[in-house]
Amino acid sequence: MMLPAGEVRIYLACGITDMRKGFHSLAAQVQTVLQHDPYSGAIFLFRGRRGDLIKCLFWDRQGMCMYVKKLDRGRFVWPQAKDGVVSLTMAQFSMLLESIDWRNTAWTIRPEVVV
């Protein structure tokens, strides 16, 4: 996925989104429901009812871009809240795209020797 350069804010739209929506409808949802500017350069994530499809919407200073991913198996991990927005880090976003549970991450490797 081609991402905007620099530090990027990432917002996940809680709840279920109608996946028939396109650029304009999702941008309007960002503006009215999430209370954010869709042209700010931030990435906005939406998930469908079944949980196996997400859409990422962002403005790249030339036009609106949409990235869509559908899983063959499994579901994307999503908050249980019915509405609102959750802010993610780039690491959490990467885990979400790989359908890894990004909510409860822990270090798995512990240093053996202190240098």
- Element of type H or E holding 57: strand 53-59
> DSSP for 83-99?
S-EEEE-HHHHHHHHTT
User: What confidence score (pLDDT) does residue 19 get?
Assistant: 93
Instruction: Note the pLDDT tens digit of each residue in 21-76.
Output: 999 999 999 999 889 999 998 999 999 899 899 999 999 888 999 999 998 888 88
User: What confidence score (pLDDT) does residue 91 get?
Assistant: 83
pTM: 0.81
CB proximity list for 98: less than 8 A, separation 6 or greater: none
